[in-house]
């Protein structure tokens, strides 16, 4: 066994007092690894920057153009590179030191935001500047995400992988709950340019956390062309029935099930009649459910019978989405019931996503992990394929019907896939 793979199998423990404390904590056991603590802190800083950036960038575009179309187009420019570059990013992640690749991509993000801050504060900002920086930031993310996902196992080892992924998800959900609100407060208090400067500072913190790391994530892919590495990764995913099934288990709920997020304003304004304040509560409770689910996974850690948990959570997510679609404003308790269901939606979603992530990483060969995770990340880029038809259906038949139909498609797919691939139920 090579030295690199040996590190993955049994990542070094830290004998400091901090490391010993976390080693005794079941829910936070991955924090016993010094480098993982730096990595997690950097992730939270970067996710916070992204959450605030979305608010500030959206406000900037709308104030410059007063166009909802251009607002959506900027979002599209930020996600388009995921389709274009994600698979290449996975191949590069297997060829480079992952810490260096993450460092480079975070630096690109920081420079883009800093450029927007300077252009905005000097009144030189134009719409095309925002489009270019959105595309560059999205391109950086297409290379950053596979490297960041594949780096985790090298930081904590396979034994703590589930816990580490769950803690990563917890950090992301914390920023998901508070990042946009913080961005809104900052835009109001110090303006868009000031918010961009703070965004850049957050990225600088993320970069700084990479410097003291001792583990670099050494390249394991065979030294061939990037194209050959990319084809090799796709061939592996296509020929491995279990991994291909896991990818489908992520893709279909992402396309058809996650449209509830886009249509949440319709539920708040027209179905539940709770207004903008109620919308904020719905989104916050959904994020809180995701946080609870990720913390529960972190506490459970490296559990057996992951397949049963995976399928149960996928069924639970699909069912909860259907139940949420049945929400109405007829009964006084309807809003309370909707909040309870949307919390379950958030919790079950993060459980089956994090479990799928762990299974993919543990099943993938070390030299292919970056490429496999790039396909996993690519499935998230498929969400617009579902939101567009869901919006059309909601316009003609109502938001509850559109969301319920999406949940039903997810439920039928999960049940059919499990029947066709019964070994998913028995994965451990």
34-43, 149-158, 223-232: which range is least confident on average? 223-232
pLDDT at position 298: 75
In terms of Cα–Cα distance, which of 245, 301, 266 is closest to 424? 245
The answer to whether 28 touches 22, Cβ cutoff 8 Å, is yes
- 86-145 pLDDT per residue, tens: 888 888 888 888 899 999 999 999 999 999 999 999 989 998 999 999 899 989 998 998
Contact 52, 194 (CB under 8 A): no
Mean pLDDT for the stretch of residues 364-391: 78
* Residues in CB range of 11: below 8 A, 6 or more apart: 33, 154, 155, 156, 157, 160, 215
Cα separation, 47 vs 34, whole angstroms:
20
Count Cβ atoms below 10 Å from residue 396 Cβ, excluding itself: 8
Distance between CA atoms of residues 286 and 317, nearest Å:
12
Per-residue pLDDT reduced to its tens digit, 305-345? 788 888 999 999 999 999 998 877 555 568 888 899 999 99
187: left (phi over 0), alpha (psi -120 to 50) or beta: alpha
Query: pLDDT tens for residues 394-409?
Result: 878 888 888 999 999 9
Do 320 and 199 form a contact (C-beta atoms < 8 A)? no
pLDDT at res. 300: 72
Domains annotated for the chain, with CATH where assigned, are: 3-210 (1.20.1250.20), 235-424 (1.20.1250.20)
- The pTM assigned to this predicted structure is 0.77
């Amino acid at each position: 066994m090579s030295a690199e793979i040996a590190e993955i199998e049994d990542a070094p423990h830290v004998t400091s007092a901090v490391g010993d404390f976390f080693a005794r904590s079941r829910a936070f056991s991955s924090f016993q690894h010094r480098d993982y603590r730096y990595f997690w802190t950097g992730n939270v800083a970067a996710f916070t920057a992204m959450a605030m950036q979305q608010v500030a960038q959206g406000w900037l575009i709308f104030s410059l153009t007063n166009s909802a179309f251009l607002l959506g187009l900027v979002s599209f420019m930020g996600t388009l590179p995921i389709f274009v570059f994600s698979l290449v990013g996975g191949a590069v992640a297997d060829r480079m030191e992952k810490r260096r690749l993450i460092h480079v991509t975070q630096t690109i993000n920081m420079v883009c935001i800093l450029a927007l801050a300077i252009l905005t504060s000097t009144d030189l900002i134009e719409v095309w500047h925002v489009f270019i920086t959105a595309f560059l930031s999205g391109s950086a993310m297409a290379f950053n995400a596979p490297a960041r996902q594949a780096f985790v196992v090298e930081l904590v080892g396979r034994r703590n992988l589930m816990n580490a992924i769950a803690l990563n998800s917890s950090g992301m959900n914390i920023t998901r709950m508070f990042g946009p609100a913080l961005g809104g407060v900052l835009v109001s208090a110090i303006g868009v340019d000031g918010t961009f400067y703070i965004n850049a500072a957050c990225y600088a913190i993320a970069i700084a956390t990479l410097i003291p790391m001792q583990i670099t994530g050494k390249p394991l892919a065979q030294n061939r062309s990037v194209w050959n590495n990319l084809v090799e990764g796709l061939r592996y995913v296509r020929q491995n029935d279990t991994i291909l099934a896991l990818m489908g288990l992520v893709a279909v709920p992402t396309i058809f099930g996650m449209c509830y997020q886009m249509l949440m304003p319709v539920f708040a304004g027209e179905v539940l009649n709770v207004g903008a304040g109620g919308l904020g509560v719905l989104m916050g409770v959904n994020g809180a459910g995701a946080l609870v689910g990720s913390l529960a996974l972190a506490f459970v850690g490296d559990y057996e019978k992951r397949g049963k948990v995976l399928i149960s959570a996928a069924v639970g997510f699909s069912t909860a989405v259907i139940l949420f679609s049945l929400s109405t404003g007829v009964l006084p308790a309807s809003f309370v019931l909707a909040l309870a269901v949307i919390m379950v939606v958030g919790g079950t979603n993060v459980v089956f996503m994090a479990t799928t992530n762990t299974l993919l990483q543990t099943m993938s060969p070390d030299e292919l992990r970056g490429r496999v995770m790039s396909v996993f990340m690519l499935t998230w880029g498929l969400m617009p394929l579902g939101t567009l038809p869901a919006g059309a259906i909601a316009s003609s038949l109502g938001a509850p019907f559109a969301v319920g139909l999406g949940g039903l498609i997810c439920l039928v797919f999960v049940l059919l896939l499990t029947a066709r691939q019964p070994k998913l139920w028995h994965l451990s």
